[in-house]
Amino acid sequence: MAEPEVRKIIHVDMDAFYASVEQRDDPSLRGQPVAVGGRQRGVVMAASYEARKFGVRSAMASVTAKRLCPDLVFVKPRFDVYKEVSRQIREIFLEYTPLVEPLSLDEAYLDVTTNLKNIPLASDIAREVRARIFDVTGLTASAGVSYNKFLAKLASDYRKPNNQTVIPPEKGPAFVESLDVGRFHGVGPKTAEKMKRLGIHTGADLKAQSLEFLQQYFGSSGAYYHAIARGRDERRVVPDRPRKSVGSETTFMEDLGKPQEIVDGVLSVLDDVWGYCERTGIAGRTVTVKVKYADFQIITRSRTLPQPVNSRSELEQTSVELVRQIFPLEKRVRLLGVSLSNMGPRENAPPPEPQLTLGL
C-alpha cells in the first residue's frame, strides 16, 4: 500500500496588520505605540508591536490599554484600506496556488503540495511570498510551514514578527509536546483553564490523556484534542469557504438613549453587511439585531423571511422593525449590531465579484 502523500501547508499571518497599515500610511506613527480602535469607549482592535511591549492586546478595553500605556496613540480603523491591502495579498497567494483558505483579512492557509511555480520546497515559497508581500504593500508577514494546518498555524506565531518557522513531519509531535496548551489553535482561554484544572498544562500532558478521557470532559472536541496532541490534523485547505453568517456591530462613544438614536445606530452598521451581499450575490433569510445595554446585558431580536433578503431597503426595514421591539427604552444602549444567517443566493442578483474577495 502506498504511503499517504505528505502535504505542504503554509500559514501566512500579517504582523500587527491594522496597526502596521496605519504606521505605513502615517510616518508620524512609526515607532510609536499605536492602537486601532476606540478611544474613550470600545476595545482595541489591533495593537502595534511597540504597544504590545506594554501589555496592550487586541480585544482589550481601551481604558485598560491607556492605563497600561499612557502614551498610546488611538487611530480610527479604515476598513476600506485594510480590505484593499488584503486583496493585494490574496492576489499574491493565488500566484502560487489556487488552494487558498482565508481566515480573516490578515491570515490564510495555502496548500502548496503542488504549486503553480513548481518550487520544490514549501519554505522557499513562504520566503518568496513574504518578500512579494513586502514589495507590493510595504508590510511584513510571518509564516509557518508544516504538513498540516494545525502545525502551520502554530509555526507562524512561533518567531513573530517578520520571520518563518518550518516544522517537518519528524519533528511535529515533539514540537507540540513542548508547548503550553493555551497556545494551541482551537483551545480558547476557557478551555485552557479547564485543561489546567485537570492537570493538562502542555502538549505532552494532553498526549498522555486517553481519547475516552478527553471525550468525557470536552465532548465532541475531545477527538480533535487527541489528534493534535500527536501532531495530527486531517483538515484540508478549503478555498472560498462559504460563510454561515455575516454581520457588523459598533460600540458607541456615548450610550444611546433616544429611539431615533437607536434607529440611526442600526442603520450605521448595515453598509458592511449589505456590501458583502452585493459582492457575493448571496444573502440570508434570518435577520438578527443585537443590542448591548449600558449595563452589558445583551439581547437579540430575529426574524426569518421566506427568501434571502434581496435589497438593502428590505434589510433596513426588517432591522428597524426588529430594534423597535425594544421600545420604549428601559435603559441606555452601548452597542448595536445586525447580522444575516441562513445564507443563500439572492433573487436577480448580479454575478458575484471574483472569489478572490471572499473572506475579506
In this predicted model, what pLDDT tens digit does every residue of 167-201 receive, in sequence order? 999 999 999 999 999 989 888 888 999 999 999 99
For 8, residues 6+ apart whose C-beta sits below 8 A from its C-beta are: 111, 112, 113, 122, 145, 147
CB 81 within 8 A of CB 25: yes
How large is the average pLDDT for residues 218-246? 88
pTM as predicted:
0.71
Spatial contact of 258 and 332, defined as CB atoms under 8 Å apart:
no
Contact 23, 62 (CB under 8 A): no
**Residue given cell 443563500 in the structure block:** 344
**Which grid coordinates are listed for 104?**
480573516
Could you report the per-residue pLDDT of 293-335, keeping only the tens digit for each?
A: 999 899 999 999 999 999 999 999 999 999 999 999 999 999 9
| pLDDT, position 292 | 94
pLDDT at 42 over 90: no
Identified catalytic residue from 107, 170, 261, 330: 107
- 347 catalytically annotated: no
